[in-house]
A and B are shown apart, each in its own frame.
Chain A
Amino acid sequence: MSTEKMTIHLKVWRQKGPNEPGKLVDYTVNDANEHMSFLELLDWLNEALMKKGEEPIEFDHDCREGICGSCNMMINGMAHGPQRGTAACQLHMRQFKDGDTVVVEPWRATAFPLIKDLVVDRAAFDNIMAAGGYVSVNTGGYVDANAIPIPKDEAETAFDYAACIGCGACVAACPNSSASLFTAAKISQYAHLPQGHAERKKRVVAMVDQMEKEGFGDCSNHGECEAVCPKEISITAIAEMRREYIKAVL
């Protein structure tokens, strides 16, 4: 494996707290290499900062496999950076060139208030889920799993929507800060499964209303959300959500 060193210049958003001023700060990492992940580059930089007595850059992360949805950052103006279908934690430095300058900023949306540096509060997503993102079945209240056959392609479509990791990239990329793709993905998942049908109408109305209450904007079909989604969830979810909504309120 090649271990050639790369120099990467970073401009990182630093902000101590929600009510403090923030700014982009310049850093240079001289000993990066192409096999590092982007978060490992930040770890590496943080180690150097702490050894100099400076405060490290805060960012959320956990699984580092693109599945928990914790990591969230704008990299060169793109949610999760330049590689399609890839969360920031899976982005590797081989996507960049020696000498590149990379700008790193937090998600920016009214509904995602900033906590510190790159860390934001995404509780609004949980609130949308609590409003109706479930099938109301108690533990034990079920029939045999094979009692209701589900056509394979329907199950696959439901899965495609269910793959959402709730990271919020769709919101960060949207000029209106809309949470439509996130909300629609859940609604569409259940719309494709017989288990979801009983509460279909109630669910779509409750979730869409909650989305508005949380301060997310409207969808005006820019399609940026689909382009940045690390799970490549299709924007057809939003069309499905609209159909579901109309059917529910008519």
Chain B
Amino acid sequence: MEIIENSPKLVSKIPDGPLTEKWSKHKNSIKLLSPANKKKHTVLVVGTGLAGASAAASLAEMGYNVKAFCIQDSARRAHSIAAQGGINAAKNYPNDGDNVWRLFYDTIKGGDYRAREANVYRLAEVSNSIIDQCVAQGVPFAREYGGTLANRSFGGAQVSRTFYARGQTGQQLLLGAYSALMRQVHLGKVEMLPRREMLDLVKVDGKARGIIVRNLVTGDMERYAGDAVLLCTGGYGNVYYLSTNAKNSNVTAAWRCYKRGAFFGNPNYTQIHPTCIPVSGIYQSKLTLMSESLRNDGRVWVPKTKELAEQVRSGKLHPNDIKEDDRDYFLERKYPSFGNLVPRDVASRNAKYVCDEGRGVGSGLAVYLDFRDAIKEQGADTISAKYGNLFEMYEKIQGEDPYKVPMMIFPAVHYTMGGLWVDYNLMTTVPGLYALGEANFSDHGANRLGASALMQGLADGYFVVPYTLGDYLATDKPEKVDTSHPEFDKIEKEATERIDKLLAIKGKKTVLDFHRELGNLMWDYVGMSRNKEGLETAIEKISALREEFWKDVNIPGDANYYNKYLEYALRIADFLELGELMARDALVREESCGGHFREEYQVDGEAKRNDADFAFVSAWEYLNGEGERLHKEELKFENVELTQRSYK
């Protein structure tokens, strides 16, 4: 495999000057398009989650013609809707010493120093405007009795900077962005195309100029041309089969763009969230997150000994009957200054350790999250006001009342920090192709802090791309292209042939069989902890599984009508390629950082980073059927000192 150090293909376009002035200087120096000229441009926005809906609405308000696409029957149903806990901003309303610098610092540290300083600083800088914007739209955030906005704490921070709307923050933020989007639909500036799935990217003269989508109702292939394509298609956690992501979340759009020349950044960086409801059986179709905000008041523990844990597992001992001295509040014990609020990767790994030691509860793969003390101190009503809907959700799924019995939780795949490589303007290595939100790799380094994905999606869509896109269009002045261009014929034909090929296999195994197998491989070898041997095994096994898939998958029905299992098969075909790249990326990174924990590189069970050799972004280039090439973007830290993260 070829490796390019300091790759000349990765031009980050980070503006010069002091960190705190970069974004304003950049905004002042980039080119603008006049309103009359904006009207002449069409922008294709793929995805209507927080990133896509906010970008589509903002661009339409500015005068662009926007076409927006999503898989679901309505833009409002994007996966962002499920975000629970909250969104960060450096408002410092609680007066606890927060500011833009601190939010920047926490985020870059939380990401284990594997993100660009300039991007993260910009994110912190625009965070406050996001809250203002959302309030103006009528987002009903939680408030104090005096009528001002309320805040809570999230992992990895010692200030209270998270804004929330009960346990449904993502829903309220997305409905805010969706309402702005629907207003533009009404005004005729956005054409909304739901139940469409992008299957490929069309490039003309090397630039992104259109997309091929499948109409999921009729099965027809459709073509759309534009002057830029914004990929806002979310994350790829579902490569692990079981994850907290919505069932339709997938990598296809990003993966197809990768195969058309967009580099893939840090594919292995995956976040495993510590507080999810444990797996209950083979039929399990997804995992449910219990918001991190619960760790504000819930205490994580397991029985002190294996013997006690065994008694609990066999039902002989009730957790409430375990004496205080026999409980191990392992996060509080090991990390006294952050306690239960250590970052996600640390909390997850420690849950794994205690279960590996035989001290897990439930099926053996679970730990307690206990509200007994919080209820005693604050009263059940206060706890219910804070977390009522989460407690209800837990009870519906588990059939147990968390007011009375401690919750059981276990880590689950939740978020992917990796994604398409983008420069400071959010443009990929394909001119005219942008990636926003979870679909890009940009701001979270090797680990994302809680409540910062919502912040990033909305920052990208409301406050970054509306500026940077104009600069590209004004500088590049793309020629008119329409869908009769021969490139559209060619790419559409390839997409159609792919579908025909899949349908013709008529094998014996269902798509779900393959997805489950892939998920198991990923979880076992490319999951919470990884090692060289395991990663090599994964590469071999995934490649074999992919071969089997193309020989033996059985897809029901036909392509010319609504066929969810065909959609599913197309996505799994791409996951089977992505999984292998993730393993390769993890193999190359011979250090532990954030969510990437290599067993060979640790000190006392804590991740051991290697800044001398690995302070870079991995950006993978697809080489038409001949493997891939690794480009490295060196990360420069001029404003923060790289320290080994410590939450002790």
Cβ contacts under 8 Å, B78 to chain A: 68
Report whether A44 and B247 are in contact in the complex, using a CB–CB cutoff of 8 Å. Answer: no
A70 touches B72 (CB 8 A): yes
Are B129 and A35 in contact, CB atoms less than 8 angstroms apart? no
Contact partners of B73 in chain A: CB under 8 A: 60, 70, 121-123
A193–B178 Cα distance when bound, in Å, is 18
Q: Do B246 and A63 touch (CB < 8 A)?
A: yes
Q: Which residues of B contact A143 (CB under 8 A)?
A: 132, 136
Name the CB-closest residue of B to A41. Answer: B283
> Is B175 in the interface zone, CB < 8 Å from A?
yes
A137's partner among B131, B137, B175, B246 (CB-CB below 8 A) is: B137
| B138 contacts A135, C-beta separation under 8 Å | yes
B562 in contact with A119 (CB, 8 Å): yes
Interface assignment of B625: CB less than 8 Å from any CB of chain A: no
A85 to B392, CA, bound (A): 10
Any chain B CB within 8 A of the CB of A3?
yes
* Docked-complex contact A139 and B133, CB < 8 angstroms: yes
Shortest C-beta distance, B84 to chain A (Å), equals 9
- Whether A145 lies near B91 (C-beta < 8 A) is yes
- In the complex, what residue of chain B is closest to A135 when comparing beta carbons? B138
Contact with A along B246-267 (1 / 0, CB 8 A): 1110000000000000000000
Taking a contact as CB atoms under 8 Å apart, the answer to whether B217 and A151 are in contact is no
Contacts of A61 in B (CB 8 A): 247
Q: Which residues of A contact B72 (CB under 8 A)?
A: 60, 62, 68, 70
Question: Would you call B149 and A37 a contact (CB within 8 A)?
Answer: no
Partner of A56, one of B149, B397, B556: B556
Contact of B186 among A130, A139, A145 (CB under 8 A): A130
Which range contains the number of A residues in contact with the other chain? 35 or more
Pair B77/A68 contact, Cβ less than 8 Å? yes
Q: Is B135 an interface residue (CB 8 A)?
A: yes
Could you say which interface size class chain B belongs to?
Answer: 35 or more
The answer on a CB contact under 8 Å between A43 and B283 is: yes
A119 to B82, CA, bound (A): 21
Is chain A's interface secondary structure helix, strand, loop, or mixed overall?
A: loop
**Are A131 and B186 in contact, with the CB atoms below 8 A?**
yes
* Residues B82 and A67 in contact, CB atoms below 8 Å apart: yes
Q: Smallest distance from the beta carbon of B77 to chain A beta carbons, Å?
A: 4
Q: Which residue in B145, B283, B510 is a CB contact (below 8 Å) of A51?
A: B510
Could you tell me the distance between the alpha carbons of A60 and B178 in the complex, rounded to whole angstroms?
20
Contact A58 B182 (CB under 8 A): no
- Asked whether A126 and B75 contact (CB < 8 A) given A35-B281, A39-B285, A63-B82, the answer is yes
Q: Take A40-B283, A68-B81, A145-B91 as given contacts and tell me if A152 and B145 are in contact as well, using a CB distance cutoff of 8 Å.
A: yes
Please indicate the chain A residues that have their CB under 8 angstroms from the CB of B165 in the complex.
159, 162
Q: Which residues of A contact B281 (CB under 8 A)?
A: 3, 33, 35-36
Q: Which residues of B contact A83 (CB under 8 A)?
A: 396
- In the assembled complex, the CB of B632 is this many whole angstroms from the nearest CB of chain A, namely 36
Query: Are B562's CB and A62's CB within 8 A?
Result: no
Is the CB–CB distance between B82 and A68 below 8 Å? yes
| Cβ-based interface call for A94 (8 A) | yes
Tell me if A146 counts as interface (CB < 8 A to partner B). Answer: yes
Give the chain B neighbours of A129 by CB distance below 8 A.
76, 178-179, 182
Q: In the complex, which residues of chain B have a beta carbon less than 8 angstroms from the beta carbon of A166?
A: 74, 76-77
Which chain A positions have C-beta within 8 A of B172? 159, 162
> CA of A165 to CA of B389 in the docked complex: distance in angstroms?
14
Q: What are 21 A-B contacts with C-beta separation under 8 Å? A: A1-B362, A43-B285, A55-B556, A55-B557, A62-B79, A63-B81, A64-B246, A70-B73, A126-B75, A129-B179, A136-B183, A139-B54, A139-B462, A140-B133, A150-B143, A155-B141, A159-B140, A159-B166, A159-B172, A163-B168, A193-B138
Other 19 A-B pairs with CB < 8 A, given A1-B280, A139-B180: A33-B281, A35-B281, A40-B284, A43-B283, A47-B510, A51-B554, A56-B564, A58-B564, A60-B73, A63-B79, A68-B79, A125-B74, A130-B183, A135-B136, A139-B61, A142-B136, A152-B143, A195-B136, A196-B138
